Amino acid sequence: MKANWGRIVKKIEAATKDEVAILKSLLDTVNSKICPECKECCCAAHNFDRGCAKSGGYYDVQYDPTPPTLVKYLKKKYKFTVKSGFLNPETGCKLPRYLRSYTCLIYFCGKEQKLLRRIDVTMAGYLARRIRTIKEQILTNV
Ligand code: SF4
Ligand code: SF4
């Protein structure tokens, strides 16, 4: 039977809403200060000659429970491009946090690490792992 990804994505959104809300409160102030002016965006193609487009959004079955068919669905829905991946160079990542890969959720650049309190980085890492576990639970029953 073909998976109804629209319905599954809504389920993931509802199940992770508390974790995503806390992540937002921890990170948004710092990100809105530093990201708009950043010339070394971690998601951009020039970064390590990798970036979002070349990595496919950093979805990797080794670290992330998102199956390739769901990644394909997200690429179509959020207009993944061969140049920028899921990144909109003007406004940032097109994916809502609950759909970002584990690698994207757990990674903090040097500038973020300087400005965030250590406790906030630890908390954000814990939340990223919680989101991954919740997704795993939902996706194993698909
Ligand atoms: S998270 Fe860091 S590397 Fe990425 S855009 Fe923001 S400041 Fe730049
Ligand atoms: S999915 Fe979003 S956060 Fe992850 S690399 Fe791509 S643009 Fe960046």
- Quick: pLDDT tens for 2-48: 889 999 999 999 999 999 999 999 999 999 999 988 888 889 977 66
Backbone phi, psi, residue 12, to 5°: -65, -45
- Global pTM value: 0.94
Q: At what angle do helices 5-15 and 17-34 cross, to 10 degrees?
A: 80
Ligand nearest to the CA of 95: 2
* pLDDT tens string 55-102: 999 999 999 999 999 999 999 999 999 999 999 988 899 999 999 999
**Which residue lies with its CA nearest to atom 4 of ligand 2?**
104
Backbone phi, psi, residue 88, to 5°: -95, 110
**Which residue lies with its CA nearest to atom 1 of ligand 2?**
57
